[in-house]
Amino acid sequence: MTTRQSIRCLLVANRGEIAVRILQATRETCPSIQTFALYTEDDRSHCDIGRPHRALQITSDGYLDIDLLVRLAQQHAIDAIHPGYGFLSESAEFAKRMQDAGITVIGPGWEILDRTGDKLKAKQLAQENNVPVLPTLDASADVKRIKDFADNVGYPIMIKAVDGGGGRGIRLVRQDEELESAVRASTAESPSKTVFVEKAAVDGFHHLEIQIVGDGIDVRHLWERDCSVQRRFQKVVEVAPSLIRDVNQELVNNVADAAVRIMKAISYRSLGTVEFLVNEQLGEFYFLEINPRIQVEHTITEAITGVDLVQAQLLIAQGYSLSEVGLGTESTAQGHSIQLRLCAEDPGANFSLSVGRITEFGVPTGNGVRIDTHVDMSGLSPVVVGAQFDNLLAKIIVTGSSTWEATVLKARRVLADTRISGVKTNLDLLRGILGHEDFLVGRIDTQWLEKHISHAVKLGGDISKSLQGPAQISRQSNAPSIPSSNILFRPGDSWSITVEPLDGQQNQTQQQKHHLQLTRVLQNDFPSAISAEVNYTTPTSASAYRLRLETTNTTAAALVSSHRRGDPRNPRHIVLPISGQLIEILVAPGDVVEENQVVAFVKQMKMELEVRSPRAGRAQWVYEMEDQEEDVADGILLVELEDELRGKL
């Protein structure tokens, strides 16, 4: 029997909606625990909603700084840390360092993390327990070896980071020409710079995952989730239970039994998920990976089983058995539940990150509707989306107690009544997916969204336009005009500006005083943007200007005038389509560039993206990087081609 070990002080080492979820669950389950949370200067809304006893400020990279987290825990007598998902949640090193410092990490322990967090080790574990796996080439970045493997098993194949997650480090390859760039991109997104290769199972396969809970002695499953609606291997919509059970219940049972068999073999203790690729028509399933942590989509399992998974995880970490947390017998799944991930991204710009301040956010409540979010519209901490963190704004969970069709209709209504302003989002995509006949009848596999994404976005856009009914338009037109900002700017407001050189430059330039006066406010969305007409006075001149200030996720160095702006209409210009971190430029002045050749790599939210040339030519001018990784704004000119390509390519 496991010894009870009560937690006194818990640090939630995460942010966003999952930090809110853990803080609230802790306050409900163990009110005596003193809770701590982390925040950065411009990202603390999860603290305002979750209300920890103490909030500790860090820099944006502090969530991954093990040394810092150990110091904070020791300074504040913290005896337990909940890493949530992402960040350090699957790091065996983090869990080991904390254990050595006498601090409990809520999870399965570093030994289990070491065996399950590595995808190759997890596949070996599955094989040892007679669970089917796909043909695999062990860790290798050798393009020739991978090509030989592909010739043997046949395309398509998957290049995967052994320690990737959330869609990062995964590339689907269908032909030889795609191999080199896919290996490079997957390797770059792997923390350990290690990738492996496996035969891809794509056509007709669903992505099913089994929710596992164990107490170190016994292991049980809480049924399955279907996560097949994916874009670039990132989940967009999840459902529980899977509709496969309507066609082949025995297959689902076999998958669940396989998951339990694997986790029992390692005496698993905590929450975890075992993922599979499943084809109900062929009656086949293959092990995919283990996630030894709480999942983003745990919500829909809670909805169909009535089990609070976060509370159960906290109690198990303190020595409670499955029976003592109410999981001593096999659970039943009732009804249907759908989770919709609302993200700040622009479907019209290849789903690039949309930055800015959330100025309006409203999701309807009601029977069967749950919202997990860190967006706080009370005005305490305005949510500003930047490039440092994940772009997930909210999880909308819709649950129906009767039929699947009734649940889909309820979800459509919820999306129809959802409002968000300030940034662009994937709301149209979500509306299009839920409005598609294929989704209603369950005709979905892992490739469905990639094949139908343009149609889904268009369908969602049409649905959004149809929602602009006369009543809504009339209400908007009659509403009084109020500024989006909480700060009221008025004509006549004035500021004195003192420009003083930094130390060491005193002898070169003297202090200067300038004056700025607003004469007309055109738009007030402060702090994300403000547009106004102003009088600007310096010691030598006075002029009237139209001024516009906008927040950006890039540094000032990315916006200086020495960076040329590109013209997307100019065929000679290769323009950066998104903001982010410029990692590498692959061409130099004078180089010949082929059509569709990769000319640069840019990183956004830990995903490495390619920038390709729209046509062939010779590079006349190339952007010069000042640092190894440089913050850049979208629209800058990367490469300028010559008017005509002289000579032969």
Q: Which residues are catalytic?
A: 235
Asked if residues 370 and 397 have their Cβ atoms less than 8 Å apart, the reply is yes
DSSP string spanning 315-359?
Answer: HHHTT--TGGGT-SS-----SEEEEEEEE-EEGGGTTEE--EE--
DSSP string spanning 251-264?
Answer: HHHHHHHHHHHHHH
User: Could you give phi then psi for residue 365, rounded to 5 degrees?
Assistant: -100, -170
Instruction: Compute the half-sphere exposure of residue 644: CA atoms within 13 Å on the CB side of its CA.
Output: 2
Instruction: Compute the half-sphere exposure of residue 391: CA atoms within 13 Å on the CB side of its CA.
Output: 24
Instruction: Compute the half-sphere exposure of residue 39: CA atoms within 13 Å on the CB side of its CA.
Output: 22
Picking from 616, 320, 327, 276, the residue whose alpha carbon sits closest to that of residue 446 is: 276
- The residues, ordered by sequence, that sit 6+ positions from 354 with a Cβ below 8 Å of its Cβ are 344, 345, 346, 385, 391, 423, 424, 425
Rounded to whole angstroms, the Cα distance separating 636 from 575 reads 6
Picking from 365, 368, 310, 366, the residue whose alpha carbon sits closest to that of residue 20 is: 310
Residue 26 three-state SS: helix
Give whole-number Cα distances, 564 to 108, 551, 553, in Å. 51, 20, 18
Asked if residues 335 and 402 have their Cβ atoms less than 8 Å apart, the reply is yes
Picking from 76, 61, 64, 62, the residue whose alpha carbon sits closest to that of residue 11 is: 76
